[in-house]
């Protein structure tokens, strides 16, 4: 192996003009890296849903920037995970052409399905930078993704930090091991190849940028970029009133065992400490969160609350210290099961917002549906050449919380950035059929700024054959709370259409040939007193089908009368009117 060292950092102060130019170009380069990944990926999980993150790091593994899309649980966890990667493979153990891989939950994104590919890049014998991506694999073996496992060993193939490729070529033995342990070998390996290629695309453009600006290394410019973000976030924190701000939240957990999440946010000068002491102990089931993932969504929450406009990098992590007790559900210890960790981790931004609400005068959004709803469909199909199996992971979102000056977003994930794949894509890949995909009236929490509206999804299969679903969902028992006088969103439900019976969540449910299941997603909490919502906006919500006439009267104090045909499929604006007298009396 060639002896390779990290590039020496330029000691002179970086030119601020060059820093600005490089920062902007890096943003474009990372979007180019992401586009290459999406356009070459095999699975709908990456290609359609964008369950991914792309980033560039300096020679020491510090994150300089990220792509526009992606989810905080991937990008922020990958950023702290690079510390483990760099520690495992220092520069003198790397060669040009090496590509590293891991999906160890405690090293990166907290779940075995999330695979990180990190590539070191060199010039003139020196390590210049790293490009990396983290993607949700369509399958990683073990149990179908759920919270049923009792140990991480049951959840699939676990890869330590190791070399996937070297200058001599791919690690064929490792590739064969992966293919032999997953249900979707072509899709899984295809996505990994796409990650490797996209890192190369990013590096190619970075080298062109360095040539253009005459840079021998980027660590000096990178440090300046990070310092700018750190100083900007610290200045925002310094505007807050120092204090100790606690909050608690109860969530569904697994089965009948709900979980308590507790936080105390301490603001002191230009730094914040977030302490999750008081949260439930780690679960016997796969809803546990590793500390990397807890830090990821904590950092995101603080930045989203105080400085969403500041470029995201290593510098924006520095002012925020995160603590969770070892052995708690937010800092689980090996070999705890972790496959459905997002069903806990996604609640942290809403929890931190609730704690910070007294300290942020401009206000913070109400609670959202929070946990992304992930369904994993598995089954058998009969074809001319025999039976075949399908595995499909799909995503969907409820409503986000009402905001201080705007309504919540409808069927839009928060805090994740993962998208729902188009129905046509899902149905073309598998026998799964979405018979209904529609907005769910009265699901949004009432408020001066109502919560985001959720959706209803009904699913069956084409043809005959065994099939099953794992509904990795939450907010069925505990809906999103309102803020500043707003009402809660409607809770979700997961039922069998024919009988209306509630089906088990976070575990595999086997279905018959003619079965159809119904998923009602949870709505976002409302913000502010519903009786202060302008009457014309309540009327618009009724016309658009977001709010029923009954909810307009009972929740908003607005009496709306419908004068059109009762059997009208399309109800136009002219068919509704406001009863001004009754509305004035109710609102008085």
- Give dist(CA 567, CA 372) in Å, integer: 36
Token pair 């075995």 is at which residue?
A: 112
Alpha-carbon dihedral angle through residues 99, 105, 108, 109, given to the nearest 10 degrees:
120
- Give dist(CA 61, CA 222) in Å, integer: 11
Alpha-carbon distances of 273 from 314, 322, 362, rounded to whole Å: 17, 6, 21
- Interior/surface letters 413-448, b for 16+ CB within 10 angstroms, e for the rest: bbbbbbbbbeeeebeebbbbebeebebbbbbbbbbb
Token pair 């957990």 is at which residue?
A: 253
What is the DSSP secondary-structure string of 264-332?
Answer: EEEEETTEEEEE-TTSPBPPSSS----HHHHHHHHHHHHHHHH-TTSPPSHHHHTTEEEE--TTBTTB-
Token pair 């904590």 is at which residue?
A: 298
pLDDT at 11 (0 to 100):
39
- Give dist(CA 122, CA 167) in Å, integer: 13
Residue 406: φ, ψ to 5°:
-145, 160
- Give dist(CA 326, CA 34) in Å, integer: 35
- Give dist(CA 240, CA 166) in Å, integer: 50
Query: Residue 518's beta-bridge partner residues?
Result: 458, 495
E strand residue ranges, 462-512:
467-472, 493-496, 508-511
Alpha-carbon distances of 388 from 324, 392, 424, 431, rounded to whole Å: 45, 13, 21, 11
Residues 402 and 450 sit within 8 Å (Cβ to Cβ)? yes
Structure tokens at 401: 């919380």
What is the DSSP secondary-structure string of 109-145?
Answer: TSSTTEEEEEEEEEETTEEEEEEEEEEE-S--SSSPS
- Give dist(CA 415, CA 543) in Å, integer: 29
Structure tokens at 375: 């369904």
- Give dist(CA 14, CA 28) in Å, integer: 21
pLDDT at 169 (0 to 100):
95
pLDDT, one tens digit for every residue, the chain (588 residues): 333 344 444 434 778 888 999 999 999 999 999 999 999 999 999 999 999 999 999 999 999 999 988 889 999 999 999 999 999 999 999 999 999 999 999 999 999 999 999 999 999 999 999 999 999 999 999 988 999 999 999 999 999 999 999 999 999 999 999 999 999 999 999 999 999 999 999 999 999 999 999 999 999 999 999 999 999 999 999 999 999 999 999 999 999 999 999 999 999 999 999 999 999 999 999 999 999 999 999 999 999 999 999 999 999 999 999 999 999 999 999 999 999 999 999 999 999 999 999 999 899 999 999 999 999 999 988 766 667 889 999 999 999 999 999 999 999 989 998 989 899 988 988 999 999 999 999 999 999 999 999 999 999 999 888 899 999 999 999 999 999 999 999 999 999 999 999 999 999 999 988 899 999 999 999 999 999 999 999 999 999 999 999 999 999 999 999 999 988 888 899 999 999 999 999 998
Element (H, E) at 454: strand 454-461
- Give dist(CA 45, CA 230) in Å, integer: 33
Alpha-carbon dihedral angle through residues 478, 484, 485, 486, given to the nearest 10 degrees:
-50
Compute the half-sphere exposure of residue 14: CA atoms within 13 Å on the CB side of its CA: 26
Provide the 10 A C-beta neighbour count for residue 493: 17
| pTM for this model (two decimals) | 0.94
Alpha-carbon distances of 529 from 20, 365, 399, 484, 493, rounded to whole Å: 44, 14, 19, 7, 27
């Amino acid at each position: 192996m060639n002896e390779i060292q990290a590039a020496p950092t330029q000691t002179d102060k970086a030119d601020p003009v060059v820093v600005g130019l490089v920062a902007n170009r890096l943003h474009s380069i990372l979007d180019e890296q992401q586009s290459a990944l999406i356009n070459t990926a095999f699975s709908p999980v990456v290609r359609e849903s964008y369950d991914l993150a792309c980033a560039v790091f300096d020679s020491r593994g510090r994150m300089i920037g990220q792509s526009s899309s992606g989810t905080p649980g991937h990008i922020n966890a990958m950023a702290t995970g690079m510390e483990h990667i760099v520690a495992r493979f220092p520069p003198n153990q790397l060669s040009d052409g090496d590509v590293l891989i891991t999906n160890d939950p405690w090293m990166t994104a907290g779940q075995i399905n999330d695979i990180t590919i990190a590539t070191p890049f060199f010039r003139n014998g020196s390590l210049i930078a790293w490009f990396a991506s983290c993607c949700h694999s369509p399958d990683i073996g073990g149990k179908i993704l759920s919270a049923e496992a009792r140990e991480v060993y049951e959840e699939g193939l676990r890869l330590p930090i190791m070399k996937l490729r070297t200058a001599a070529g791919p690690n064929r033995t490792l590739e064969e091991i992966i293919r032999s342990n997953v249900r979707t070998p072509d899709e899984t390996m295809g996505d990994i190849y796409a990650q490797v290629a996209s890192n190369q695309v990013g590096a190619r453009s970075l080298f062109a940028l360095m040539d253009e600006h005459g840079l021998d290394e980027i660590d000096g410019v990178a440090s300046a970029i990070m310092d700018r973000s750190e100083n900007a976030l610290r200045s925002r924190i310094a505007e807050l009133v120092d204090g100790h701000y606690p909050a608690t939240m109860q969530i569904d957990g697994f089965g009948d065992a709900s979980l308590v999440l507790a936080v105390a946010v301490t603001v002191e000068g230009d730094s914040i400490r977030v302490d999750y002491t008081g949260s439930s102990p780690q679960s016997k089931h796969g809803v546990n969160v590793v500390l990397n993932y807890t830090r990821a969504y904590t950092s995101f929450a603080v930045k989203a609350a105080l400085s969403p406009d500041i470029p995201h990098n290593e510098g924006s992590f520095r002012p925020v210290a995160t603590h969770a007790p070892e052995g708690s559900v937010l800092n689980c210890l090996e070999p705890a099961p972790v496959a459905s960790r997002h069903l806990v981790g996604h609640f942290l931004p809403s929890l931190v917002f609730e704690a910070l609400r007294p300290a942020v005068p401009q206000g913070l959004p109400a609670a959202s549906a929070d946990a992304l709803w992930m369904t994993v469909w598995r089954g058998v199909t009969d074809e001319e050449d025999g039976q075949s199996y399908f595995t499909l992971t799909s995503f969907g979102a409820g409503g986000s919380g009402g905001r201080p000056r705007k309504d919540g977003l409808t069927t839009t994930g928060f805090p994740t950035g993962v998208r729902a794949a188009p129905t046509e894509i899902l149905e073309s890949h598998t026998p799964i059929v979405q018979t209904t995909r529609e907005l769910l009236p009265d699901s949004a929490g009432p408020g001066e700024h109502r919560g985001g509206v959720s959706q209803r999804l009904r699913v069956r299969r084409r043809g005959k054959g065994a099939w099953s679903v794992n509904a990795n969902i939450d907010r069925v028992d505990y809906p999103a709370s309102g803020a500043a006088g707003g009402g809660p969103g409607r809770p979700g439900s997961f039922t069998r259409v024919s009988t209306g019976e509630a089906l088990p969540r976070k575990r595999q449910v086997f279905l018959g040939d003619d079965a159809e299941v119904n998923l009602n997603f949870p709505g976002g909490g409302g913000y502010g007193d519903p009786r202060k919502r302008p009457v014309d906006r309540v009327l618009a919500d009724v016309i658009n089908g977001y709010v029923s006439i009954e909810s307009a009267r009972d929740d908003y104090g607005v009496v709306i009368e419908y004068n059109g045909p009762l059997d009208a499929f399309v109800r136009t604006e002219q068919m509704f009117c406001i009863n001004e007298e009754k509305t004035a009396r109710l609102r008085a």
